[in-house]
Amino acid sequence: MWYAIFWQHSKLTKAIIEQEIIGMFKLNIAIYMTLLFSLIVSTITSIWIYKKKTNKWLGMLIGLCINTLLLLGATIIFHKIFNVKEVDGLFASLGILIFAFFVPIFTCINFSILEFMRYKIYGIK
């Protein structure tokens, strides 16, 4: 009798753990996709501003502002709505601050892309 109860309990526990793992995996994918979306949007906007105004620093400023706004909004959404306190995987120690961590990294990537455009495509030294 007791082994039947234990068997049902272990099956239920296993199902809950599997469900939790799948949920965390989907959440991590959503976080990484949000970071990628922010990088793409800020890079495209920086390039567009640079081509339109031929001012690299204005493009960088606009890219920084877009990164900050998108990632700040993502932090609020993931914290308040999805109740995310921690992230698993490579950036587990950062927790919800993963979005703030990537703002300067994305700004540096945008700077490198604009420098490449300036030297290689437009030939400006």
Residues 50-103 pLDDT 10s: 889 888 899 999 999 999 999 999 988 888 887 776 676 677 667 778 888 899
Q: What is the Cα–Cα distance from 103 to 24, expressed in whole angstroms?
A: 24
Q: From 84, 50, 114, select the one nearest 34 (Cα to Cα).
A: 84
Question: What pLDDT score was predicted for residue 2?
Answer: 45
Q: What is the dihedral of CA 87, 91, 94, 97, to 10 degrees?
A: -70
Residue 16 has pLDDT above 80, yes or no: no
26 contacts 93 by C-beta, under 8 angstroms: no
Residue 6: pLDDT band (50, 70, 90) is very low
